[in-house]
Amino acid sequence: MSKLVSADIDVLPALPLKEWQDTYDTLHMWTQIVGKIPLTLNPKLNHWWEVALYVNARGLETRLIPHRAGTFQIRFDFLNHELAIDTSADQSVRIPLRPEPVAEFYRDFMAALESLGIDVKIYSRPVEVPDPIRFEEDYRHRSYDPEYASRFWRILLFAETVMEEFRSRFLGKCSPVHFFWGSFDLAVTRFSGRRAPERPGADPITREAYSHEVISAGFWPGGGNIDGPAFYSYTAPEPEHLPEAAVRPGEAFYDSGLHEFILMYDEIRRSRSPRDTLLEFLQSTYEAGANLAHWDRAALERDIS
């Protein structure tokens, strides 16, 4: 069992991006392979909610996926470091998570599904990454460090717990706290109830994701000019003067390239109360966006005083 597992949710591990970048990149591809199964088989939901993965007590999992023989579920287990496929017909397959190329993981995973009588074909080109390599051809990404995989999951557990508390304060339409394998982030999204202006030239994924006004927040391991894990918050469409809005804590900042407020994970990890610090960031960035975008907050929010 990982030494990182603790009953204290505020004991949070370090996750330096440079130290686990190779594992991150490989795990990103593995989650895309798994995530394309619900994308292919699940009934379509608004804003692509049917494709997401969910944090559980051992890792990440799909929801129940329908198939002609019943239902099944897929789970990444970051304690035993294995991929589990379980069916409602009481059949199971386990695939060890270990350093191996994406192409081999893809081959073994698809063979495991076939052995369970689950015949499904997926689009094997990854999405939302630069220079994508088809899964069956990807021998570049081949790293898996179980220590860092466990650290990542441990942070997701913390984030999911606090984000669920934040979600409970909202009465309007709100997404689950769910993990998007395309962008590799944990997110929760609130909706004003109003449609958003059309985005000329937007691809179908973007059009559906941002068909309505949203304020979204989440956790991301980092990349580009964000050189470490971070929490983010954005309002779409972005109202005028949002970048100048005062948000908390003081370490939070607005990134003009991402059009997002950012609070680095290490600032939260080192704070006196990580839970309180994260809630402060989520609440203050939501209030900034909702006030400037003229959301009907009295109708949408639960009184938590």
| CA dist., res. 43 & res. 49, Å (int) | 10
Per-residue tokens: 41? 């088989």
The mean of the pLDDT values for the chain is 95
- The answer on pLDDT for 52 being more than 70 is yes
| CA dist., res. 80 & res. 86, Å (int) | 16
Q: What is the pLDDT of residues 179-199, one digit of tens each?
A: 999 999 999 999 999 999 998
Strand 92-96 with 178-180, pairing = unpaired
Per the listing, tokens 């593995």 go with 30
For residue 155, the surrounding DSSP H or E stretch is helix 146-167
Closest CA to 196 of 209, 210, 206, 208: 210
Per the listing, tokens 């949203």 go with 214
Q: What is the pLDDT of residues 3-50, one digit of tens each?
A: 444 334 448 999 999 999 999 999 999 999 999 999 999 999 999 999
Q: What is the pLDDT of residue 28?
A: 98
**Which residues sit opposite 233 in a β-bridge?**
217, 261
How many Cα neighbours within 13 Å face the side chain of 245? Answer: 28
The amino acid that residue 89 corresponds to is: A
pTM of the model: 0.94
Closest CA to 30 of 91, 110, 88, 86: 110
Q: Where are the alpha helices (DSSP H) in 210-296?
A: 265-269, 274-292
Q: What is the pLDDT of residue 8?
A: 43
Q: For the chain, list the strands marked E by DSSP.
A: 54-55, 59-61, 65-67, 70-77, 82-87, 92-96, 178-180, 185-195, 212-220, 230-236, 253-255, 260-264
Q: How many Cβ atoms from other residues are within 10 Å of residue 245's Cβ?
A: 17
Query: 274-292 vs 146-167: helix axis angle to the nearest 10?
Result: 50
